[in-house]
Amino acid sequence: MRINRTLQCDLLVVGSGLAGLRAAYDASVAGLRVILASKGRLCSGASFYPLTGALGSQLPKDNADKPFYLEELLDSGDGIADRELCKILVDEIGAEIARLPELGIPTRDASGRPACFAKRERRLAIWSDWDAIRTRVNQVFSLFPNLTVIPFSEIQRLVIREGCVAGALLVDSLSEFVLVEASAVLLASGGYCGLYRHSLNTDDVCGMGHSIALDAGVGLINLEFMQFIPGLTAPVYKLLFGEISLWHCKDVVDDQGEQVLQKRLPPDVSFERCIRERSMHGPFTTRDDSRYFDLAMMEQCRASRSPNSFTIHYQPSIATDSNQLVDHVRRMYQERGIDLSTQSISIAPFAHCANGGIWIDGHGNTAIPGLFAAGEVAGGIHGADRHGGVATAACLVFGSRAARASISYIRQHASVGVSEAEVMADFTRWIDNKACSVVTAMDVLQQLGESLWYDANVIRTGSVLAENLAWVRRMRGLYNPARAIEAGDDIKQALKAFHALRVADALFSAMIHRTESRGPHYRTDFPLRDASITGARVVVSEDQGQISARYVYPKGQ
C-alpha cells in the first residue's frame, strides 16, 4: 500500500449531506481553500435518501413559540437532550432555513399534524426532487475556484501531529490512497444505521467518521439512542411505512395467518389503543403504549428469523378516507402498485437514524483541536427521543456553526507538513493486527448486519448484547484488512469491514452500559426507566485499542 498523491487545503469537509454542504459552502465563501470529500456523489447520504420523496425541518412558529419548542425537545429527550444545544437549534433554525436557497435547495412551507413527538403543530419547511437539487448544488459549487469536490472518496484515518489535526488519509474513486494536508477537518460523514441488515439508509451511512474519531481520542455520546421506523418488506422492500394508515388497521397476523399483536398485549392495553397511539409517530419509543406494536413486530421477526412475518390487513374504509395525510400514504403506495384496501403489507423495524455520535460542543468542536463535526455524525444535541424535522435542523444549524468555528481556527493555525511515508506506515500498523485468518470483509459485514438487526434493534437483552460484543471483539482479532488488501480484496470493502467492527464494538458497549429502558432503548432485562440515572449520558472512548463505555453527567447534576 502506498500514497498515490497528496493534496493541500485549509479545510477538509467529509460528507456531502446537508451539514457538509452547508459547511463547505460557508468556508468557500470565506475564502478558504476547501476540499469536500463525499463517500458517494455530491448530495448523498441520509439527507438525500432516494426512497424519501421529501425532507423537512421543523421551525418555531414565532419568537413566542421558541420557549415551548425548547421544552418539548427537552421533554422528548427525557433527560438526555442538551439544553444549551437545543436552545441554539431553536433560536437559529429559522435563519438557516432562509439560507438554504444559497445552496440550490428551495423550500416550501407545509402543514399537517404535529411532527413526531411534538405537542403543537409548527411551521414545517420541506424540499424535494433530489435530482434537481443535485444539479443546482453542483452549479453553485462550480462557481468557487477555491472549492474542490472529490466524489466517491472515503476517509480512513485522521493525521494528528502534536495533538492537533494535520490532515487525513482518504481512498479515492480509483481505490488509491490520497493524503490531504489540512489545517482542520470537519466531519459530516453521517450515521451508522447503514450497517444494519435492514435500514432506511444507503450503504454509505456506515459510521466511518465515528471510527476515526474514536481512534483520534474523541468520545462518542448517546450511541444507544437510535430511531427505528417500520419499513415495508413485502410486497415492496424498503419502502417507508405510513403509520397514519393504522387508523384503518383491521388485523395484524404472522406468516401463518395467526394473531400476532393481540396475544402480546398486556391486559390493560387494547388493540385499538395500541394501534391509535402507534399511528401518532414514526419512530419506536418506550414512552407510550405504542411500544407493544414494535416489540411484537420484532419478537415475531426474531421468532421466525424472517422480516416478512408481521403482516397488516386494512379495512376497506382506507380507500375513501379524505384525510390529507392518509391520502398521501395511500397515493404513495398506489404509485408502487399497492392498494391498501385490498392488499396486505408486511413490515419490520428498520434502522433509520442515530441520535448520538461524536461528542461536540455548541460550535461543533471536539476534544481534538482542528477536528469539528456536524450532522448525524455529531452527538450530544438530541436526547433519547427526537422530534421529527429536528435532524435536518441540527445538520443546518451546526453545519453552519462548525464552519464558522473552523474558519476562525484555521485563521489562527497554519497547516503542518506531514510525511507520506510516515502517514502510511502509521496507518498500516493500525490496521495490521498480524492475523492470518481466512475471514473476509463480506463475512464480517454480512454477519454484523444480521447481528445488529436481530439483537440491537428495538429489543435488546444484556446477555445477548454481551455475546455479540464478544463476537465483534473476536472478529477484530481475526480479521486483518491489511492481509485482505494484499490478497487482492477491494480496498474500500476491506477497510469498511475494519471500521464497521470498531463502530459495532462502540455500539454494543453503549447498549450494554445503559441498564434501563428509556426512549428507543429497550432492555428486556431492565424494562423500566431508571429515574436515578436521568441525565446520565453514556460516553464511549478508546484507550490503546480498547473501547469502553462510562456514564457522564452534565455539570451541576
Categorize the per-residue pLDDT at 54 as very low, low, confident or very high, splitting at 50, 70 and 90: confident
In a domain, residue 304? The reply is yes
Residues 263, 169, single domain; the answer is: no
Last residue of a domain, one of 351, 373, 394: 351
Residue 34 resides in a domain: yes
Cell of 552: 457522564
Q: Decide if 537 contacts 481 (C-beta within 8 A).
A: no
**Residues whose CB falls within 8 Å of the CB of residue 171, separated by 6 or more in sequence, listed in order:** 153, 154, 156, 177, 178, 491, 492, 495
In a shared domain, residues 292 and 312: yes
Q: Assess whether 143 and 284 both reside in one domain.
A: no
Q: Are 259 and 343 in the same domain?
A: yes
User: Each residue of 141-154: pLDDT tens digit?
Assistant: 999 999 999 999 99
Q: Is the Cβ–Cβ distance between 171 and 208 less than 8 Å?
A: no
Q: And the C-alpha cell for 178?
A: 490520497
**CATH code, 213:** 3.50.50.60
Cα dihedral 354, 355, 359, 361 sign: positive
Question: Which amino acid appears at position 89 of this protein?
Answer: L
**Whole-angstrom distance, CA of residue 260 vs CA of residue 73:** 34
- DSSP E strands in 15-113: the ranges are 34-37, 54-59, 108-110
Q: How far apart are CA 206 and CA 372, in angstroms?
A: 19
**pLDDT value at 203 more than 90:** no
8 A C-beta contact, residue 496 and residue 206 = yes
Question: Do 218 and 188 share a domain, yes or no?
Answer: yes
Burial status of residue 335 (CB atoms within 10 A of its CB: 0-12, 13-18, 19 or more): exposed
Is the domain of 298 the same as that of 183?
A: no
**What is the pTM assigned to this prediction?**
0.96
Does the residue 219 lie in any domain? yes
Residue 324 belongs to some domain of the structure: yes
Residue 113 pLDDT more than 80?
A: no
Do 445 and 518 have their domain in common? yes
Total number of domains in the chain: 3
Around Cβ 88, how many Cβ atoms within 10 Å?
18
Residue 72 forms part of a structural domain: no
Cβ pair 465, 508 in contact under 8 A: yes
Residue 277: pLDDT band with limits 50, 70, 90: very high
What is the spatial distance between Cα 51 and Cα 239, in angstroms, rounded to a whole number?
A: 7
Q: Does any domain span residue 548?
A: no
- pLDDT confidence of residue 556: 54
Q: Give the domain CATH number at 461.
A: 1.20.58.100
Check whether residue 234 and residue 299 sit in a common domain: yes
Q: Distances from the Cα of 226 to the Cαs of 251, 261, 267, in angstroms? A: 28, 23, 29
Burial of 435-445, coded b for 16+ CB within 10 Å and e otherwise, reads eeeebbbeebb
Quote the pLDDT of residue 114.
87
C-alpha cell at position 241: 411505512
Greatest extent of the chain over all pairs of C-alpha atoms, in Å: 69
Find the domain containing 309 and state its range: 228-351
- Tell me the pLDDT tens digit for each residue of 478-512: 999 999 998 888 999 999 999 999 999 999 999 99
**Residue 53 confidence (pLDDT) above 80:** no
Q: Distance between CA atoms of 232 and 9, rounded to whole angstroms?
A: 44
Residues 425-479: tens digit of each pLDDT: 999 999 999 988 778 999 999 999 999 999 999 999 999 999 999 999 999 999 9
Residue 494 counted as domain residue = yes
Residues 243 and 337 in one domain: yes
Q: Is residue 532 part of a domain?
A: no
* pLDDT digits 0-9 by tens, 305-322: 999 999 999 999 999 999
DSSP 102-118: GGT---EEE--SPPTT-
439 and 496 part of one domain: yes
The answer to whether residues 170 and 180 touch, using CB atoms and an 8 Å cutoff, is yes
Q: Which residue has the cell 479545510?
A: 11
CATH code assigned at 324: 3.90.700.10
State what percent of residues in the chain have pLDDT above 70. Answer: 99
H/E element, 24:
helix 18-29
Could you tell me if 248 and 344 lie in one domain? yes
Amino acid present at 187: L
Q: What is the pLDDT of residue 557?
A: 52
Instruction: Specify whether 141 is located in the same domain as 195.
Output: yes
pLDDT band at 329 (very low <50, low <70, confident <90, very high): very high
**Higher per-residue pLDDT: 360 or 415:** 360
Buried b (16+ CB within 10 A) or exposed e, 38-62: bbbebbbbbbbbeeeeebbbbbbee
* % of the chain residues with pLDDT over 90: 90
